[in-house]
Structure 1
Amino acid sequence: MNLPPTEQLAHDRINLGRLVKRLESSIQSENWDQANGNNAWIKSQGTLQRIKHARQLLKNVEADDPDPSSPKSAQRYRDMRIALDKTEDFILAVDKRVAPKRSKPPSLLSTLPIPVNEPPTPEKPSPSTLDTLLPADESHKAPLTDDLLLSAAEASALPPMLTEHHALPSISHSALPASTSTFPASTLTQRPAAKAPTPAFAQNSAALQQELSDQLAQMASQLKRNTVHFSEALAKDAAVVEDAGIKLGSNYDVMKKERGRVRDLTGKTGGTTCLVMMSVVAVLVAFIFMVLLIRAT
């Protein structure tokens, strides 16, 4: 609740005096010399907070005082500051004595084992690699051109019109001897088998496709059920709207008829009312005329 400035100033003055007296009595009455443990430290921290609040109140009261330089006011403020300083010094000494010791936790790095550097072991090549890289026989070290060159007799046996362009395709891979290949036959026969897909990968792909197909079928059936449900709901809503339209149309016709009847009845009752009023007026006029005629005769 916000108070006016004058009332707030009066409250601050009263609270300041009470707070200073309470702080002085707390350090005199309580046994701070034998206080130990966490409770004493928590109590000292609370007292320091109250001293801080008292200093703030003193600052506000002194700032709002219309005559702070008067001897009486200056002496009162000085006494309060001295009392707060003494109390704060005493509580700080107690807080320093009973403050809990903060122990640093052990380092986590010291608990970790030191890694051992092991020399890398050279990898031994597999037998298949050795068979692939090394020739099968020492006779394969001979150059291939020795087997490809033709002798003089073989060269003379060739047709004269055979050109180099037509002669080169005749030297095919099948015409070469088996000893001219730098790779063994076992390696050549094993290469196509390495390119075949693994059965585990094929099984996983088939299982994944089957699972996706099942999920798509389930989604399609769910969408179909949703479509049927929504179509039925729309049909029911359309029937309800149609019934409401029929009822509104019938009510409109009934109200139209009742309106005509009320209009006709209003006209009839109006004419009857006028006739009755005219009859009453005529009777009154005739009665008055008769009375006057009797008096006159």
Structure 2
Amino acid sequence: MAFVNTPQHDEINLVRLVRRISKSVAKPDDWTPTDVEPEEQIWLRARKALQNVKFARRLIKNVEVDDFEPSPPRINYLNNIKIQLDRAETFLKEVETSSKPVSHRPAPILPTLPVPEPEPSALNSNSSVDEHGTLSLSPPPYSESTEKGPSPRIATQGLLILPDDADEISPTLITSTLPSLLPSSSTETATSTGFSRGFGATSATHLSGTQTSTAIHEQLTAQLETMAQQLKRNAIHFSNSMEKDKAVVEDAQLKLEGNYDVMQKERVRLRDHRGKSRGTTCMVVGIVLLVLLVFMLMVSVIRFS
């Protein structure tokens, strides 16, 4: 069965479209304006036909792309189609140019509108007659009262923030807030409050400051000692955990080494067993073949003797 090349879809559309364009351009009398079909309709029909010509050229390009090695008759056929499209396009452009409607710009409406006249009341109030008897309009008189009004006063109450009285500050509040930095005895509290109020420094104040710093140093020393003990316990616990983990790792290493040795031995044993089993298999097959051969020989001897 011979293979037949069927025409492609673009080629079918191209043939039909070129035939339709050639048929529409064949009669120039159909493109003349009449009473039934004015120039506007002819112009629209020409533009539509030009769009068809443009689409036909696109189809020709698609067909040429599909043909890798076209034959000479094929090339002549496509060239004839291009010539027909060129003629149709030239004719349609002439028709479009000749039947193009002229755009008429409408007359402006603004000059026809009447000029608005001022109202009589506004004319009497803002008009004045000069020496020559002409009427002139003047703006209303300027008054400072309209421009400058009473500015609102800005309230200043509540803008100034005054500090609290020093007597209202309770020393017990400071003592409760910082118990580790201030003395707790009444004598030291009175001395410190007296110093803060500006009554002067005394020897008791110096003594209380020394005691306070000593207490702070003792507290810091105790805390550092506690932290050192905790760090020591953590280090001991970590070392014990490492020793336990080390024992577990060593045990696992010994087991893995033992398994490796056993697997090596089993590998050697399996290799030897495979060699022996291969020899045994060959021997069994040979014996079976020998038995069959002897059986056939005996049957032939008995049969032909």
What TM-score do you get using the length of structure 1 for normalisation? 0.34
More helix by percentage: 1
